[in-house]
Amino acid sequence: MQDSAEKDALPTESHPLKPFLPKNARLLMCGTFPPKKEKWSMEFYYPNFINDMWRIFGLVYFGDKDRFVDQRHKTFRLDELRPFLEEKGIALSDTGREVVREKDNAADKHLSIKRHIDLADILSGLPECEAVATTGEKAASVVAEITGTEIPKTGECAECSLTLKDGTIRSFRHWRMPSSSRAYPLKIDRKAEMYARMLQTIEVH
């Protein structure tokens, strides 16, 4: 195990991507932090080719887990994915803006978040957003801490509110969703069912 001095010596990483924020977004999806750059197959959220987020979306919306998959180049069809998300009104960010990797990977249990998402600021720029979906336990714990609410059970939601920059109070639902990592012990079809329920509930279709 690392002692506190070793942890203090580890470098702090800033998030390499800007939040993806379509102005019409009704849903903001938040993971924790991207994997190291050598694991990326594209310059976008959920970039690891063995992460199943975009296969889940292919199943939910098209009944085809390979809808956004470019198998030949071992990447995802970003030229189709970005306009699709814009059309549906789905925004993306991560809950960690600055983190320390305590191990040489992106596993949540080895990430220490030094600065988290400014959720009130992001929601201030998304006037139609009515739900935040966190895609893992650590991301869910950050949103629960920010909003002073309990962490929902996986696949369920909690009612939340935040005071925005202009002083108005925004009410929204916080959905805690299963991780799209293959390390999370749930079959992709079952994950897709849970995501479909969430998306249908907030009418992102």
Is residue 1 over pLDDT 50? no
Domain contains 105: no
User: Kind of pairing, strands 157-163 and 169-176?
Assistant: antiparallel
- Region of 149 (left: φ > 0; alpha: ψ -120 to 50; beta: rest) is beta
Instruction: Dig out the tokens for 49 from the structure.
Output: 């080719």
Look at residue 205 in the predicted model and tell me its pLDDT.
66
Distance CA 162, CA 146 (A): 8
CA-wise closest residue to 44 among 34, 59, 30, 36: 34
Output the domain CATH number for residue 153: 3.40.470.10
Domain contains 192: yes
Listed in sequence order, the residues at least 6 apart from 108 whose beta carbon sits closer than 8 Å to its beta carbon are 32, 136, 137, 138, 139, 179
Is residue 4 over pLDDT 60? no
Is residue 156 over pLDDT 50? yes
Domain contains 9: no
Domain contains 133: yes
Is residue 6 over pLDDT 70? no
Look at residue 78 in the predicted model and tell me its pLDDT.
98
Three-class HEC string of the chain = CCCHHHHHHCCEEECCCCCECCCCCCEEEEECCCCCHHHECCCCCCCECCCCHHHHHHHHHHCCCCCCEECCCCEECHHHHHHHHHHHCEEEEECEEEEEECCCCCCHHHEEEEEECCHHHHHHCCCCCCEEEECCHHHHHHHHHHHCCCCCCCCCEEEEEEECCCCCEEEEEEEECCCCCCCCCCCHHHHHHHHHHHHHHCCCC
- What is the average pLDDT score of the chain? 93
Domain contains 167: yes
- Region of 203 (left: φ > 0; alpha: ψ -120 to 50; beta: rest) is left
Query: What is the arithmetic mean of pLDDT over 107-131?
Result: 91
Beta bridge partners of 91: 28
Total of domains in the chain: 1
Percentage of the chain modeled with pLDDT above 90: 84
Domain contains 86: yes
Is residue 132 over pLDDT 50? yes
pLDDT tens digit string along 66-91?
999 999 999 999 999 999 999 999 99
CA-wise closest residue to 56 among 138, 140, 135: 135
Domain contains 161: yes
Q: Residue 78's domain spans which residues?
A: 19-95+118-201
Domain contains 49: yes
Is residue 104 over pLDDT 90? no
Is residue 131 over pLDDT 90? yes
